[in-house]
Structure 1
Amino acid sequence: MTCAPRSLTGHTGRMQAMAVAQLDDRPHLVTSDRGGSLQLWDLATGVETRRLADHTEVMAMAVTQLAGQPHLVAVEGVYGSKVAYLWDLTTGRRVRRIASGLRGIVSSVIVTEVKGVPSAFLVSFGDDHRAFDLATGTQTLALSIGTLRAVTAATLAGRQHLVVAHSNDEELEVWDLTRNLINRRRVDMPRTLWFMTGTLTDPEAEFTPQSLATVIVDGRTYTIAGCGDGTVRVWNLATGTLVGTLVGHTDLVNALAVVRLHGRPHVISASLDGTVRVWDLTAMTLVDRGRPVTAALLTHLDGRPHALTTGSPRRAIRAWDISTGTHREVPTWHKHELKTLAMAVLDGRQYAVVGAVDGMSLCDLATGGYSGYLEGHCARVHTIAVADLEGRPHVLSGSDRGSVVVHDLVGEEYRLRDFRDGQDLLLEKFKLVKDGMESVIAVDLARIGGRLYAISGNHRGSVEVWDLTTLTKHSLGFPPGELHLAALAVTDLHNRPHLMTGDRHGPVKVWKLALNSRDVDPVRTLVGHTAAVYAIAPVSLKGRPHALTGSDDQTVRVWDVGAGVCLATLHLPAPCQAIAAGPDGSVVLGVGHEVVALRLTI
């Protein structure tokens, strides 16, 4: 994302804080720097119009209207105790002292109403955040919610929210101020715990938020963060998705302000590089591209071929009509990112089984709604497979906590068995086949000797095979250090089940599924990828075993597994983390945030 900025020059020290005010019906910017300068700028012309005198270094500020006139709340002082003053910007004079004796570094100021009283909310780097009545200086609120670096207020769905950046965190937290929970565990230290509704992150890069602001563009509320790497990131607050990154500063962005210029919303950013930049938000494209597509599958809905994918910014399933390229969204109850999908049929109805950061659920694809929560996981669900077991549909799933769970979707209740010393656990409506500390990143199903087995793999390269009838474990005997597992899938080769594994370093290997073997060697090594292989889709084409593999090297390769040769390489604009393939040659790829449909001709 790019848009042309305008720079304001004149400060001699590093920028500390800034705020926007209306003076003489013209937008002005108030800025402070490490040299102690406090200046006002006409934003229409970029010309400095005034310098405020009789102050020390200003660390944080905010502008408000009192009696119809613009006023500035400024926190002065770097070392020792800090003082907050109220300034009349029309006259350029101090009006009164709001608060004194403040300890710690005050990082942000927000002017808001607390219990109906106009107050200055002072946010510190320590766990001491207080609000003061602007008229009397009386303390109206004291909060202890951890060390904060920055905070901004926003109205979302008619409720007041705070977006906060904690010290050293690489995400932003969103708190609903209208849903208060009182912690009564320590009566000697009462505190208010706000209801956290979500987080704002960048799935593709690390960032350290230093300053925050809120803006409304075309009726949508956006949160803006100035970051330690010099970028300015923009999130849609309702969906929690990153919609853009502004690049231009060469050092940490420590202050932000929002203003309307010529009827258009702008954001102003101040950096330790000594510059102030003005960005026209309508000149950039605020598009909710959503999240990277991490799962895809092929199915038929209403008699038409469809693809189901993750990647919606609203944590919904996207159902794509392959013939028209259009899609609809199937809502889920999940509040966090969807990771994986599978299909199940119950009583003749199609359901999507959804694995997400916050658990697993069923969604009725006909009615387009949430149908039930599948218990058993207390962590991110990475992988799901569905199979028929004892004449009933079952779901096999693996999570971050190392658990592999089998659900009987018909709902038969299993009796509770003891879970001590690594024994198997059977709980109502699901079986916990395995529990451990290693993240399960892939599962699949295979029939060996007429019995159904579950194959699970973790990020350390360990692969386990479970007899789903007896819940007994078998070893595949892989040599230590042989696997750097990123993906796995089961395929048929010479009428026998084989295991395909994707490596974090690129090679794709094919293994014979021989239970309790002490010596296992790959029967095929498919060389070509130069980065981690996160997607494997076996498919039979013209009666021969083939597979598509997707990699972080931004390619998809088509393999003749029987011959061990690569038939084609597709070069993509982004990594591929999801592949679905059908026997008619239909293929759906998840390429970064995008979905690509194509047809193979062999």
Structure 2
Amino acid sequence: LDSGVGPGARLAAAVYRASARVHRGAAPGVRRQLLALDAARYGDRDLSARISAVPVEGEPAARWGVDWATGSDVDARFRCAFTGHTGEVGAVATAVVDGRPIAVTGSGDKPVRVWDLTTGKQVGEPLTGHTRGVRAVATAVVDGRPIAVTGSGDKPVRVWDLTTGKQVGKPLTGHTRGVRAVATGVVDGRPIAVTGSEDKTVRVWDLTTGKQVGKPLTGHTDYVSTVATGVMDGRSVAVTGSWDKTVRVWDLTTREQVGKPLTGHTSWVWAVATGVVDGRPVAVTGSGNKSVRVWDLATGQQVGKPLTGHTREVGAVATGVVDGRPVAVTGSEDGTVRVWDLTTGKQVGEPLTGHTDYVSTVATGVVDGRPVAVTGSGDKSVRVWDVATGQQVGEPLTGHTSSVLAVATAVVDGRPIAVTGSGDKTVLVWNLTNGKQVGEPLTGHDGEVRAVATGVVDGRPIAATGSEDEKGMVWDLTTREQVGEPLTGHTREVGAVATGVVDGRPVAVTGSGDKSVRMWDLDADSQPVDRVFAQAGKVRAVAVADIGGRQVLLVAVGRWLRLTDPATGRLTGPRLSGHTRPVTTVATAVTDGRPIAVTGSDDGTVRVWDLSTYRQTGPALTFPAPVKAVAVTPHNTHLTVAFGNDIATLSPH
């Protein structure tokens, strides 16, 4: 795969790698489907269609095609994966050795590795010597030789000759706790290294002699987590960031702090880089408070407003020049990389599309005549997607302060809306036309809201919600008031809710971790219909379907979907089996006049069932991560699946 030449070959290699752990041992038909999915995740729909069209001996033509998919878990810029480290890679630097570009990486597995960036191959044996994980790497040139300087939790700093792969001299000792940051520079014509440590000090080392230069630089009151070097007014300086939330500038000639600490971050400073904007030296810092800040090193003042957009900690910053303009590149635990124009303070282009944490729920609806998918995620946001194009509609809907765990759609006063439940214990209603929250949050639950369903009672749209507080609630979506008393009786969390019509009466159905399903008459002040159905295990999903004029409850218990008669609580047919791990989600629809159910599972598959025959229709669809939600568009033309951090829409051929 590494030998591929040109963008097409590199893309094909990246697509193959994306889910190789899943498809390597799979049958050819499954491999075809997964490769088509990953081609769409990398943004190449034509390649996805071509893969789906490939004939496979002994297999029918692909029944489903991938229309589009988000790529939160993959990045088309990462064409080649360097594998070898067995721990988290937390440090990287680049250099040139014998005219060839290389990368030097440090990991929690202790060895330092060197990679040829042209071939993607490891250069020589790993550099061993550190006894704990390597957290910091920098490169420099000493006496004409390229070297790497590494810092570790084992306290000593080590210097490596990148030509020979040998350690240079003895370890640089002095820090009394782990080293978290390393940078290199030049002071008075001599190459130096600057290190920051958990002992709260900054130390400067002469790389020619291997000796510490002067006394430690002190002032930070917590771990020194990041360091960069630069030039200000012709003087070499170091810029350090700390868990004490400050940034400090040090004159490396006098070893004195320059001015006062740079304050503004409200959480620890994880990353720093230096650059030049309009002829003035600046530092760019990333923090645990999700923001990026730019500082004028001459005045010690912040330049403009913080650069905001990341939704989690910013742990990596680099600077450069693009088309003659200074830029900063930032990486975050939200899974995105963003580029910023340092002259204007604006983000350049779009970040990687998609949710930045697991997608927990999906529903479908119609906005302005177009089918949409509405997704909720652990990143606390709700996003709306055009099912036909895969484009996000508007900005993310933000308001929840914890993970979005459930979503359903409805129409209120002619407007399409979404109803979402969250770990913050609230229910929010959203106008899908303008992307605005409707009214105040619906409050009353005392635990995470894990399930939401919508329906109609007496011509009025309602929502039914289930929570870890062991109760359900019903809400009038027109007035946004609670209807009746809470639905109580379960003794564990209510993680599944559905609405429907049974015997001509609107009902809500709740499923719980207490191994029971309860049915509630919504025409009778939300009192139970005197029907409590015991199950064989925890109920993860419920739905109501019409099979030949009979109402049937679909109950996901363990690896099976159980069809239950709502009048007697007895099974009305065989358990639908095939999944190898718990069924997490179920959706229903009518296709060609036949009722179907679609199930998703932690085993990473989606299965479609003909409820008239109790048989699976076609092979299972395989995904590279557990499936947490499925939804079918109102016209049954598309299937939307949430897996991992991504969603995909498929349509039958």
- Asked if TM exceeds 0.5, the reply is yes
Q: Does 1:339 align with 2:405?
A: yes
Which residue number in structure 2 is paired with residue 171 of structure 1?
none
Contact 1:547-1:558 within 8 A present in 2 as well: yes
Query: 1:235 is matched with which residue: 335, 355, 362?
Result: 335
Mapping of 1:312-351 within 5 angstroms? Answer: 315-322=381-388, 324=389, 326-334=391-399, 337-351=403-417
Q: Cα distance 1:50–1:566, how it changes in 2: closer, same or farther (>3 A)?
A: closer
Residue 487 (structure 2) pairs with residue 362 (structure 1): no
Residue in structure 1 matched with residue 525 of structure 2 by the alignment: 470
Superposition pairs of residues 80-479 of structure 1, within 5 angstroms:
85-89=203-207, 92-98=210-216, 109-111=225-227, 135=255, 152-153=270-271, 161-163=286-288, 174=289, 199=312, 213-215=316-318, 221-223=329-331, 235-236=335-336, 287-288=352-353, 290=355, 291-310=357-376, 315-322=381-388, 324=389, 326-334=391-399, 337-358=403-424, 359-376=426-443, 377=445, 379-411=447-479, 432-434=486-488, 438-468=492-522, 469-479=524-534
> Which letter maps to 2:621?
H
Q: Whole-Å Cα distance in 2 between the matches of residues 362 and 28 of structure 1? A: 58
Deviation of 1:332 (Å): 0.3
Q: Output the CA distance in 1 between the equivalents of 2:213 and 2:318.
A: 29
For residues 449 and 317 of structure 2, the distance between their equivalents in structure 1, rounded to whole angstroms, comes to 33
Task: Provide the TM-score with structure 2 as the length reference.
Answer: 0.58
Find the aligned partners of 1:159 and 1:474 in 2 and give their Cα distance.
63
In structure 2, what residue type is equivalent to 1:404? G
- The CA distance in 1 between the partners of 2:532 and 2:378, in whole Å, is 40
Q: Distance in 2 between matches of 1:83 and 1:305?
A: 58
**How much has 1:176 moved relative to structure 2?**
5.7
Aligned to 1:521, which of 545, 567, 570?
Answer: 570
Give the drift of 1:501: 0.8
| Distance of 1:57 and 1:557 partners within structure 2 | 58
Q: Quick one: distance in 2 between partners of 1:551 and 1:76?
A: 46
Q: Following TM superposition, by how much is the alpha carbon of 1:112 offset from its aligned partner in structure 2, in angstroms?
A: 8.3
Deviation at 1:350, TM superposition (A): 1.5
1:595 aligns with 2:648: yes
How many residues were matched structurally? 471
Question: Kindly tell me: are residues 220 and 550 of structure 1, through their superposed partners in 2, closer, same or farther at Cα, counting changes over 3 Å?
Answer: farther
* Mapped contact 1:442–1:458 kept (Cα < 8 A): yes
1:477-536 C-alpha deviation (Å, 9 max, x unpaired): 434x623322110112353432101122x111111113xx6xx33122223322211222
Q: Distance in 1 between matches of 2:434 and 2:511?
A: 35
| Partners of 2:604 and 2:623 within 8 A in 1 | yes
Q: Distance in 2 between matches of 1:199 and 1:590?
A: 25
Letter of the structure 1 residue corresponding to residue 287 of structure 2 = L
Q: How far does residue 393 in structure 1 lie from its aligned partner after superposition?
A: 1.7
1:317 and 1:101 map into 2 onto residues whose CA distance is 45
Root-mean-square deviation over aligned CA pairs? 5.0
Tell me the residue number matched to 1:40. 159
Residue 81 of structure 2 aligns to a residue whose secondary structure is coil
> Is contact 1:342-1:352 (8 Å) kept?
yes
For 2:245 and 2:457, how far apart are their aligned partners in 1? 57
Match of 2:3 in 1: none
Q: Which has the higher helix share?
A: 2
* Distance in 2 separating the partners of 1:26 and 1:318: 54
Alpha-carbon distance change, 379 to 34 in structure 1, aligned in 2, over 3 angstroms:
closer
CA shift digits 1:319-365 (9 cap, x unpaired): 2243x555534520146554333222222222222334444323322
For residues 150 and 526 of structure 2, what CA distance do their matches in structure 1 show?
67
Cα distance change on mapping 1:99 and 1:346 into 2, 3 Å = same
Note if contact 1:535-1:551 (Cα within 8 Å) is conserved in structure 2: yes
Q: How does 1:17-32 map to 2 (within 5 A)?
A: 17-20=135-138, 22-23=140-141, 28-32=147-151
Provide, for residues 387-442 of structure 1, a one-character-per-residue CA deviation record: whole Å limited to 9, x for no partner: 2234322222223443423222222656xxxxxxxxxx97xxxx644498733221
- Hey, what does 1:3 align to over in structure 2? 81
How far, CA to CA, are the matches of 1:463 and 1:159 in structure 2?
55
**536, 557, 563: which is aligned to 1:510?**
563
Alpha carbons of structure 1 residues 220 and 492: separation in structure 2 relative to 1, 3 Å: farther
**Secondary structure at the counterpart of residue 586 of structure 1:** coil
Q: What is the DSSP-based 3-state SS (H/G/I as helix, E as strand, rest coil) of the residue aligned with 1:470?
A: coil
* Distance in 2 between residues matched to 1:73 and 1:485, nearest whole Å: 57
Q: CA deviation at 1:214?
A: 4.2
Q: How many angstroms apart in 2 are the aligned matches of 1:308 and 1:22?
A: 50
**Post-superposition shift, 1:443?**
0.5
Label 1:74 to 1:551 Cα distance change in 2 as closer, same or farther (>3 A): closer
Aligned to 2:552: 498
Cα separation, partners in 2 of 1:496 and 1:558, compared to 1, 3 Å: same
Percent sequence identity over aligned pairs: 23
Q: Structure 2: how far apart are the matches of 1:400 and 1:444?
A: 16
Distance 2:171 2:257 in 1: 22
Give the structure 2 partner of residue 565 of structure 1. Answer: 615
Deviations along 1:541-597, whole A, 9 cap, x unmatched? 454433222223343333232333333333323344333336854231305223132
Q: Distance in 1 between matches of 2:319 and 2:505?
A: 58
* Contact 2:148/2:160 (8 A) holds in 1: yes
Q: CA 1:160/1:405 → structure 2, altered by over 3 Å: closer, same or farther?
A: farther
Rate the CA distance shift 1:175–1:483 in 2: closer, same or farther, 3 A: same
Matched, 1:63 2:183: yes
Cα 1:37–1:484 shift into 2, 3 Å: closer
Task: Provide the C-alpha distance between the structure 1 equivalents of 2:270 and 2:620, rounded to a whole number of angstroms.
Answer: 45
Cα deviation per residue 1:127-155 (whole Å; 9 max; x = unaligned)? x99998854589999x9xxxx9x972369
**d(CA) in 2 for partners of 1:220, 1:341:** 37
Kept in 2: contact 1:355–1:383 (CA 8 A): yes
CA distance in structure 2 between the partners assigned to 1:559 and 1:35 by the alignment: 57
SS of 1:29's equivalent?
strand
Distance 1:161 1:582, change over 3 A: closer
> For residue 110 of structure 1, what is the amino acid of its counterpart?
T
- Counterpart position of 1:14: 131
- Give the partner amino acid of 1:39: R
Q: Does the aligned pair in 2 maintain the 1:397–1:406 contact within 8 Å?
A: yes
Counterpart residue type for residue 582 of structure 2: A
Residue 301 to residue 48, structure 1, CA distance change in 2 (3 Å):
same
Structure 2 vs 1, CA of residues 462 and 372 (structure 1 numbering), >3 Å: closer, same or farther? Answer: same
Paired with 1:572 and 1:385, the residues of 2 have a C-alpha distance of 27
Code of the aligned partner of 2:366: H
Long gaps (5+) in structure 2: 1-17, 19-79, 83-114, 116-121, 230-236, 274-282, 294-307, 340-350
* Matching residue's letter, 1:579: V
| Letter paired with 2:531 | L
